[in-house]
Amino acid sequence: MKIKHYILATLFLMSLGSCKKYLATEPTDFLNPDNYYETEAQLQFARAGVYDHLGAGGLHGTYASYLLAWTADEGYMNRATLTTGPWNYFYSSADNYNAGLWNNLWSGINKANVLIKNVDKNTAIAQEKRDAIRGESLFLRAYFYFTLVQYYGGVPLKLEPTTSVVDVDDARASAKDVYLQIIKDMEAAEKLVPSIKTLGFGGAISKSAVRGLLARVNLHMAGEPVKDKTRYAEASKWAKMVIDDAEAGHSLNPSYPDIFMKLAGDKYDIKESIWEVEFYGNLKDQYVETGNIGWINGPASNVNSATGRADAYMNITSELYDKFEPGDNRKWFSIAHFTYTISSTNGSKTLALLPVNDHAKNLMKPAKWRREYETLLPKAPTRTPQNMVLLRYSDVLLMYAEAENELKGPTADAVEAFNKVRRRAWSTGIKTIAVTNGGSGYTTAPTVTFSGNGGATAKATVSGGRVTEIILDRDAMGITFFNEGKYTAVPTITISGGGGSGATAIATINKATDGNLNPASKEAFLAAIQDERMREFNFENLRKADLLRWGIFLKVHQDMGNKLQQQSPGQFFVKNYSNVSSRDLLMPIPINEMSSNLKMTQNPGWE
């Protein structure tokens, strides 16, 4: 639980910004409108039921991080014993995981519809509170529809509660019409929900969250398959509203790793992390809104380790590994160059060497979701309290850059938004160390120190009485690869002890501005943004949807299948990419829906 809200949990139950995990969990009985929605507490309980679908197993609780292949070319589900499912594109319309996603989204939509219909039943409840709940419900309904239209295409538009178990035949709306309804709902919600500063945390819907998602929705509508290019201007507008919101004061967290440390440690960072799915609990008390973040998609850890059990069901690809450039320190926090040890010390690691070839890269684990940063003790074996972030400020910056590029090309404003994200990622530590004079008389390795307080440490190698090399120490925390420190000016290296004298060395350092790019064309800038989104949001489950809207999903997966067959011939995960065909541009309408809704039509290739 987010610590600063814990004591006020009871008060938050009745507040505008109540967090899902402080509310009662999803109602198990049907809430009859004839005798419900009469009190504020009842509205809050119903509100919690709508939010609950965000963290359900069929969405961000499990499936989105694991079973739906939303990581695309970033990584793959590594359980070879699971042979059929969306993760390897070898499944049918009868697949249970596909149905689980579909059913959860529609259940969330229906609950939102019921709440919207009944939120004004008791007008004695303060208008402001009813409006806030109305806004949240409209937004969540739109978000569930947004997920549906991205992966299933046009679906029926159900904007009223389902009241009949017989009259269930609804024809599909076009994808364009679904998008227009999503935008209508979100724009209405934006006027009703509180500011993120008023809320004080990212676990509920704020104006910043709505505006950021409106930028995303419009960007998707501008891309495949709707291709409404007028939407780029809307995407730019909504992103700029987040950027220019002085009250909210959004900014990048100076530390990329700290974003995920805070998510694991139950701390909010509303400057960067704008919207999160709330999880909390260790199955030891009444808080059981737990998820799988870190257990499924983090570095492996044994059940007997104080770090917490992590079965690590996801692997990265060489494509992700190679996408990071020298100096980009996101690489070392995103990819595990270590293994957790079985130890009573939380976070105890054995550091690993760099991978020797591309096949070794394909066997590495993602690392940004780490159980060592969880603060709720004791840690549950297979459930975690880590929140899943759905919108970060860096996404707003990159969406703004992309929309502006589509409208005007690589303007200075768009490139600066893009480069802000890259500069945050960049190392300011020691880049190289060159021995300029080996000295003489050294019988043991001398001590190496750096001036200033940058924090780098290194060791010297001695051969024939001379210092021949100085190598940075590894970072024992696994946050960067080397313990390179952080510097604003090149430090002086002092070599002392070891029985000799005369050895000297000089260093160079990385600078944040080394990360800046200056794209020469609209096409080059789009390609740079596509790569940057992969680096910045790896394993945040945005990649597949991005590839779909860019119209490159098929090519990327076919290329990945060919590449992996060369790098890791015969390995089961090659088929996670080579199985992809044109039918996988959309997921199949579940067979139960096809049977019960006589007006439903199946997606192409799934008939």
How confident is the model over 414-464, as pLDDT tens digits?
999 999 999 999 999 999 999 999 999 999 999 999 999 999 999 999 999
Both structure tokens of 71: 């990581």
Residue linked to tokens 């943004």? 529
* Exposure class string for 239-255: b at 16+ Cβ within 10 A, else e: bbbbbebeebebebbee
pLDDT at residue 205, as a whole number: 98
pLDDT for the residue 165: 76
496-519 pLDDT per residue, tens: 999 999 999 999 999 999 999 999
Q: How confident is the model at residue 10 (pLDDT cuts 50, 70, 90)?
A: very low
Instruction: Give the model's pLDDT for residue 30.
Output: 52
**pLDDT, average across residues 49-67:** 97
Other beta carbons within 10 Å of 435 = 19
> Model-level pTM greater than 0.85?
yes
Give yes or no for a contact between 99 and 572, defined as CB atoms under 8 angstroms apart. Answer: no
Q: Is the dihedral of CA 45, 47, 51, 52 positive or negative?
A: positive
pLDDT at 565: 98
Q: Output the six-digit token pair for 452.
A: 């200033």
Strand ranges in 288-376 using DSSP code E only, listed in sequence order: 314-316, 338-340, 349-351
DSSP string, 103-166: HHHHHHHHHHHHHHHHTTS-TTS-HHHHHHHHHHHHHHHHHHHHHHHHHH-S-----S----SS
Residue 31: per-residue pLDDT: 63
Q: Which of 348, 352, 350, 374 is nearest to 363 (CA)?
A: 352
Quick: pLDDT tens for 230-271.
Answer: 999 999 999 999 999 999 999 999 999 999 999 999 999 999
Query: What does the angle CA 371 – CA 376 – CA 378 come to, to the nearest 5 degrees?
Result: 85
Task: Give Cβ neighbours of residue 207 (< 8 Å, ≥ 6 apart).
Answer: 190, 193, 194, 195, 196, 245, 248
N-term to C-term CA, the chain: 46
Q: What is the CA radius of gyration of the chain?
A: 26
Cβ pair 139, 189 in contact under 8 A: yes
Phi, psi of 172 (to 5 degrees): -75, 140
Q: Please say whether the structural domain 1-193+552-607 has been given the CATH code 2.60.120.10.
A: no
* Predicted pLDDT of residue 28: 44
Q: Where are the domains positioned within the chain? A: 1-193+552-607, 430-510
User: How far, in Å, CA of 101 to CA of 85, rounded?
Assistant: 12
Instruction: With a cut of 80, say whether residue 16 has pLDDT above it.
Output: no
pLDDT at 7 over 90: no
Element (H, E) at 100: helix 96-118
Consecutive H or E run containing 432? strand 430-440
Following DSSP, what letter does each residue of 272-297 receive, concatenated?
TEEEEE--B--SSSS--B-B-TTTTT
Q: What is the pLDDT of residues 455-491, one digit of tens each?
A: 999 999 999 999 999 999 999 999 999 999 999 999 9
Is the pLDDT confidence value at 601 over 70?
yes
Q: Give the E-state strand segments of 225-346 in sequence order.
A: 273-277, 314-316, 338-340
pLDDT band, very low/low/confident/very high, at 15 (cuts 50, 70, 90): very low
Closest CA to 359 of 567, 524, 578, 593: 567
Q: How far is CA 447 from CA 442, 454, 481, in A?
A: 11, 17, 21
Indicate whether 11 pLDDT > 60. no
Q: How many other C-beta atoms lie within 10 A of the C-beta of residue 217? A: 25
Q: Locate 593 and state its tokens.
A: 């829906």
* Percent of the chain with pLDDT strictly greater than 90: 92
Both structure tokens of 595: 């049977």
Give the model confidence (pLDDT) of 24-44 as tens digits: 334 444 567 778 999 999 999
Q: And the tokens for 85?
A: 């499912």
d(CA 399, CA 462): 51
pLDDT of 379 strictly over 90? yes
Number of H helices, E strands in the chain: 20, 12
Closest to 250 in 3D by CA, of 302, 297, 211: 211
| Beta strand ranges found along 248-348 (DSSP E) | 273-277, 314-316, 338-340
What digits encode the pLDDT tens for the residues 167-202?
889 999 999 999 999 999 999 999 999 999 999 999
pLDDT at 29: 44
Burial 121-134 (b: 16+ CB within 10 A, else e): beeebeeebbbbbb
Nearest to 189 by CA among 212, 175, 206: 206
Q: What's residue 163's pLDDT?
A: 85
12 Cβ neighbours under 8 A, 6+ residues apart? 5, 18, 19, 22
Q: Give the pLDDT mean for 401-406.
A: 98
Report which secondary-structure segment, H or E, holds 43.
helix 40-51
The model's pLDDT over 281-290, given as tens digits with 9 standing for 90+, comes to: 999 998 889 9
Answer whether residue 21 shows pLDDT above 90: no
Task: Give the number of other CB atoms < 10 A from CB of residue 81.
Answer: 5
Rounded alpha-carbon distances, angstroms, from residue 327 to 233, 296, 297, 403, 527: 34, 28, 25, 27, 20
* pLDDT tens, residue by residue, 128-140: 999 999 999 999 9
Q: Reply yes or no: is the peptide bond before residue 299 cis, omega within 30 of 0.
A: no
What is the rounded distance in angstroms from the CA atom of residue 607 to the CA atom of residue 601? 9
Torsion of CA 239, 245, 248, 253, to 10 degrees: 60
Calpha distance 469→87 (Å, rounded):
47
Residue 529 φ/ψ region, left for φ over 0, alpha for ψ in the -120 to 50 degree band, beta for the rest: alpha
Beta strands 338-340; 349-351: pairing state? antiparallel
In sequence order, the 6+-apart residues with CB closer than 8 A to the CB of 430 are 450, 454, 456, 458, 472, 482, 484, 485, 487, 491, 507, 508, 509, 510
Cβ proximity of 281 and 290 under 8 Å: yes
Strand (E) or helix (H) holding 323: helix 318-323
> Cα separation of 358 and 574, whole Å?
13
Rounded mean pLDDT of the chain? 94
Q: Is the peptide bond before 446 cis (omega within 30 degrees of 0)?
A: no
